[in-house]
Amino acid sequence: MLSRLPEWVKSPLRPVRDQVLNLPYYGTGRWCPVCHRSSRRFREWGNPQRKDARCVHCGALERHRFVWLYWEEKTNLFDGRVKKVLHVAPEKCFEHRLKRCIGDGYITADLSERAMVGMNITRIPHPNESMDVIYCSHVLEHVQDDRKAMSEFHRVLKKDGWAILLVPIIAERTWEDRTIIGPQQRLRVFGHKDHVRQYGPDYLDRLSEAGFEVTVTRVSDLIEEGDAARMGLTSASGDIYYCTKM
C-alpha cells in the first residue's frame, strides 16, 4: 500500500514504517560495531538466508562488522592524520561514515555512477604510490583479469600504505573458466550470475605474486567468542587479508 502513495506522502511515513518493521528487533542481544547500536537480533539475509546477518539499523553484514572492528583495533585508519583512501564499490553502511572520518582524501570508485569516480580497477587512473589505504571487498571475483587488478592496487599503494582486499573463499582451490560467459551458466557453476571464478585459500598466492605481503586475521584472532556472538561475527564474516608492499 505504501508503494502506491505519492513520494511527498511516503517520505514522512518512512520513519514510522521503519519503526514498525523494526519492532521485533528491539532489544540488546546484539550490537553492531559499525553504527554502535543494539538490537535483539540481526535480520536474516542472503540466498540462502543466513540468520543474524544484517544490522537492522545500518545494514552492515557479518563481513562489514568484522572489517570495521579490525579497522578500529588494528589499523591507523581513524587516527585523524591526512590520508588518501581508495574505496572500491563502496558499501552504503560504510560510505558516509568513512567520508566523515577521512574527509577530502576519501575516494569511492566503481564502474557504476553511484561512486565519486568511474573506474576499471585493471586500469586505475592514479599515479604510482598515491594511496595510503585501499579497501576492496567482494569485487575481484567479478573481474576477469584479477591479477591485473591486484597489480594495479600494488602500483598505486604507497610503500608504507596498506590494503584490505577481500574475496569470498568458497572452493578448495581457486578455479575459473573463461568459456563460461552467460549469466545462467555463471549462476550454475560459480553460484552468482556475475562471478567469473571461485576463490580458494590459494588466493594468498595471487596476492603474493602481485607483490604483497599478507597477514590473515580470523574472527577468533581478534575477539573472544562471547563478544563475537554478540556482534554476529560468524564463519560468514570471512577472513581479513591485510596487504602491505614487500
Contact between 215 and 242 under an 8 Å Cβ cutoff? The reply is yes
Q: What does the alpha-carbon distance between residue 89 and residue 117 come to, in Å, rounded to a whole number?
A: 10
Cis peptide before 12, with omega less than 30 degrees from 0? no
Domains and CATH numbers, the chain: 75-210 (3.40.50.150)
Q: What is the pTM of this model?
A: 0.89
SS3 166: strand
Q: Is the pLDDT of residue 200 over 90?
A: yes
pLDDT in the model for residue 219: 97
**Comparing 154 with 23, which gets the higher pLDDT?**
154
Q: Is the pLDDT of residue 20 over 70?
A: no
pLDDT band at 5 (very low <50, low <70, confident <90, very high): very low
Amino acid letter, residue 90? P
Q: What is the pLDDT of residues 88-138, one digit of tens each?
A: 999 999 999 999 999 999 999 999 888 999 999 999 999 999 999 999 999
